[in-house]
């Protein structure tokens, strides 16, 4: 085996070792976050029953994972939907109660419009007007529709008339467009990220 071939082989082994180390660390970190989120399972279960959406318990847990990994008082980032601004919620219970109530509104509106449940989940991030947008375009949430709404509706509404974007290094974004979101346009990958985090919870809780 030539010197160049040996060097190439060693480089491949080093890269493989680094990938294994990174994967191990990420797996450990994800498991730790899931365990932390699951400490709120009883409160979530009570809230989804009160709001008549018990089948959405794991969706709510995945939203908590997505929004805060269970490491903030406003677990579900509910403040804006309740008060119209951030940092107004100071307890985990208030956040869960408000967040579950808002998702329940979204689910009810999506069902009435004939839209799928992931439209309701995406609307948790975009706002309830997104549901009518999806209804008029087939009733099923997709990243393509979410991107259109983010770029053409939400971002301009909140002052981004020039389609400015910023870096967002999540796998969903990297594979879709190289890793970008529209400024002031919410997160067009939100429903897919919640789906992914539901799987983490299913596997690791």
CA distances from 120 to 1, 7, 168 (A): 59, 53, 23
Please say whether the structural domain 3-204 has been given the CATH code 1.20.1530.20: no
Which of 16-25, 65-74, 133-142, 186-195 is the least confident region?
Answer: 16-25
Segments making up each domain of the chain, as ranges: 3-204
Residues 188 and 34: their CA atoms lie apart, in Å, by: 23
The predicted-structure confidence for 5-40, as pLDDT tens digits, reads as follows 677 777 777 787 777 777 676 777 788 999 999 999
Q: Could you tell me the pTM of the whole model?
A: 0.88
Instruction: Tell me what pLDDT residue 1 has.
Output: 56
Residues 10 and 33: their CA atoms lie apart, in Å, by: 35
The predicted-structure confidence for 128-164, as pLDDT tens digits, reads as follows 999 999 999 999 999 999 999 999 999 999 999 999 9
């Amino acid at each position: 085996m030539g010197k160049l071939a040996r060097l190439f082989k060693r480089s491949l082994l080093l890269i493989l070792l680094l990938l294994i180390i990174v994967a191990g660390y990420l797996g450990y970190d994800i498991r730790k976050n899931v365990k932390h989120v699951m400490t709120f399972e009883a409160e979530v279960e009570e809230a989804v029953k009160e709001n008549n959406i018990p089948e959405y318990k794991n969706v709510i847990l995945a939203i908590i994972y997505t929004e805060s990994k269970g490491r903030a008082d406003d677990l579900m980032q509910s403040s804006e939907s309740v008060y119209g601004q951030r940092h107004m919620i100071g307890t985990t219970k208030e956040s869960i109660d408000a967040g579950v109530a808002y998702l329940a509104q979204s689910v009810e509106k999506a069902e009435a419009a004939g839209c799928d449940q992931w439209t309701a989940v995406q609307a948790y991030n975009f706002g309830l007007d997104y549901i009518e947008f999806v209804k008029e375009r087939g009733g099923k949430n997709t990243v393509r529709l979410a991107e259109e709404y983010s770029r053409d509706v939400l971002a301009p509404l909140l002052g981004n008339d020039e389609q400015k974007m910023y870096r967002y290094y999540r796998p969903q974004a990297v594979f879709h467009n190289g890793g970008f979101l529209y400024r002031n346009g919410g997160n067009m990958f939100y429903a897919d990220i919640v789906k992914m985090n539901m799987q983490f919870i299913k596997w690791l809780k």
